[in-house]
Amino acid sequence: MFSNKAFGKTIITKTAGQKIASEELKGRVVEVCLADLQNNEDFAYRKIKLCIEDVQGYNCITNFHGMDMTRDKICSMIQKRQTIIEANVDVKTSDGYIVRMFCIAFTKKDKDQIKETCYAKSAQARGIRVKMVEYMSELGNKGDLKTLVHTLVTADCGKDIEKVANPIFPIKDCYIRKVKVLKKPKFDVTALMEWHNEDGATADTGKKVAPEDTGAVASAGGRY
């Protein structure tokens, strides 16, 4: 799902009596910057929440738990003389996850506009909100959670919404700002491990070992 799998460490009290360390870790939610997960500083404004589902040795197997934007990024987009348009929708993925998605956008001046303000009427804001909900519903319902997260991380969903909403009113800085996992299906460790093992490109398989030259050894020693 992400290019960098080993992104950090978490502390835990050692096993003592009936308190088992691995059981205490399960269910813990960690928050990571997407820039660290993807090794790309362009995603520094994204925060990813991952939930520890299983522990194997010293490795914690995590699953997607949510996504958010940093406060400074949202504050940098808010300005005077424009309308903020927000929408949210609950979607169910094909593998049984119920996810709530939040979208945000801001109105902008039309081309060659002289007027200082660019406020949208309530009917226009309602129309844009409908387009946002339609796009997010289609995005969430067409595949499983892994496909949804991959699309949110890699694709520019905001630009697609801007194109669809442009005939109603010009908008800018459109983002799916927040994603929350509301309900998960019954835990299946096999399905979760498939997510982690499918990405062979990022898996550490080690260095290729050159075959030994047995002929050179035989000639040097005379006989085995």
What are the E-state strand segments in 70-203? 84-92, 98-107, 171-183
Q: What would the pLDDT profile of 167-190 be if each residue is shown by its tens digit?
A: 999 999 999 999 999 998 887 777
State pTM to two decimals.
Answer: 0.79
Residue 218: predicted pLDDT: 44
Question: From CA 157, how far away is CA 162, in angstroms rounded?
Answer: 9
- What pLDDT is stored for residue 210 in this prediction? 55
Question: What pLDDT score was predicted for residue 87?
Answer: 94
Regions of the chain where pLDDT drops below 70? 1, 198-224
Q: What is the pLDDT of residue 205?
A: 38
Buried b (16+ CB within 10 A) or exposed e, 161-177: bbebbeebbbbebbbbb
